[in-house]
Amino acid sequence: MSSSPTESRDPESFVRALARGLSVIEALGRSPGRHTMAEVAAQADLNRATARRILMTLVELGYCQNDGRYFRLTPRALGLGISYLSALPFWGYAQQVLEELRTEIGESCAMAVLDGTEIVYLLRLPARRILAAPLAVGSRLPARVVSLGRVLLAALPPAALDDYFRQIELTSLTPRTIVDPDALRRELQAVSERGYAWVDGELDPAICGIAVPVRDGQGAVVAAISVNAIAGSIDEEGARQRFLVPLRRAAAEISSRSGL
């Protein structure tokens, strides 16, 4: 077995057992939602003895259950994610604001933050008319191909953005996906200058979206919110005219209500 990434950490400041426990929880959270000890060990890059100790500890603490062969997370594990959401000063107000926005414009609305090279959904409120997608709170998508991600990437400091480009592989997901790094950099600069991102069919040819940043009191971008529609039903100019003002108003309201 190759050495785990935890092996190279500073032993004075890094709690290896905690890192391994979290890796097991992440493994248990992957589809199909139940896993054998061997499967968990493989996914968490641990030997079976270590995986077994961690799994039995999680069972004892009530975060995991075991039926003899399979392990699965319990509802108690949901509290780990809810703790993050509850700690966000804007999350409690954002759902109400986005629900009002969806009612006003009749399209799907969402909020996300950046985590590495991906966005993580904090809220997603689909409209009935949009194509169904298996996305919920905690779902992840490549940041580069969705409007939410473009807004968040455009707000990164230059060094962080350079690091992002070193980590990603610009593969094509649809015929419209930007795969040239210089073109993507130019697009992110344009997003920064105009204050919104428009993406049409780069992740899914059936979906387009427009997004704006949510800022704190110092002007730093802490999240992004978006409106999504069926591709072909509206173009960038139409989306800008129809959605941009209410979208920016919603972003400002989220910031002001939560005291950012």
C-alpha separations of 69 from 34, 52, 59, 169, 201 in Å: 10, 12, 13, 38, 43
Residue 178 CA to chain centroid, in angstroms? Answer: 20
**pLDDT score, position 5:** 45
Across 187-205, average pLDDT: 96
Residue 182 CA to chain centroid, in angstroms? Answer: 24
**pLDDT score, position 169:** 93
Q: How far apart are CA 161 and CA 140, in angstroms?
A: 19
- For 153-169, write each residue's pLDDT tens digit: 999 999 999 999 999 99
Per DSSP, what are the bridge partners of residue 226?
110, 211
**pLDDT score, position 4:** 45
**With 0-12 CB in 10 A as exposed, 13-18 as middle and 19+ as buried, what is 219?**
exposed
**pLDDT score, position 1:** 38
Dihedral of alpha carbons 85, 87, 92, 93, sign: negative
In the chain the domains, ranked by start, together with CATH numbers, are: 5-76 (1.10.10.10), 88-257 (3.30.450.40)
Sheet holding 207-215, edge to edge: 140-142, 118-125, 108-115, 221-230, 207-215, 197-200
Full DSSP string of 156-205: S-HHHHHHHHHH-----SSTT----HHHHHHHHHHHHHHT-EEEESSS-T
Higher pLDDT, 181 or 257: 181
Neighbours of 128 (CB within 10 A): 7
pTM of the model: 0.80
Q: How far apart are CA 222 and CA 112, in angstroms?
A: 9
CB distance 85 to 93 below 8 Å: no
Dihedral of alpha carbons 224, 100, 252, 240, sign: positive
Q: How far apart are CA 163 and CA 169, in angstroms?
A: 12
Q: How far apart are CA 156 and CA 143, in angstroms?
A: 12
Q: How far apart are CA 210 and CA 223, in angstroms?
A: 14
Average pLDDT, the chain: 89
Is 148 a residue whose pLDDT tops 50?
yes
C-alpha separations of 71 from 17, 35, 75, 79, 171 in Å: 19, 5, 13, 18, 35
Please report which confidence band the pLDDT of residue 139 belongs to, taking 50, 70 and 90 as the band edges.
Answer: confident
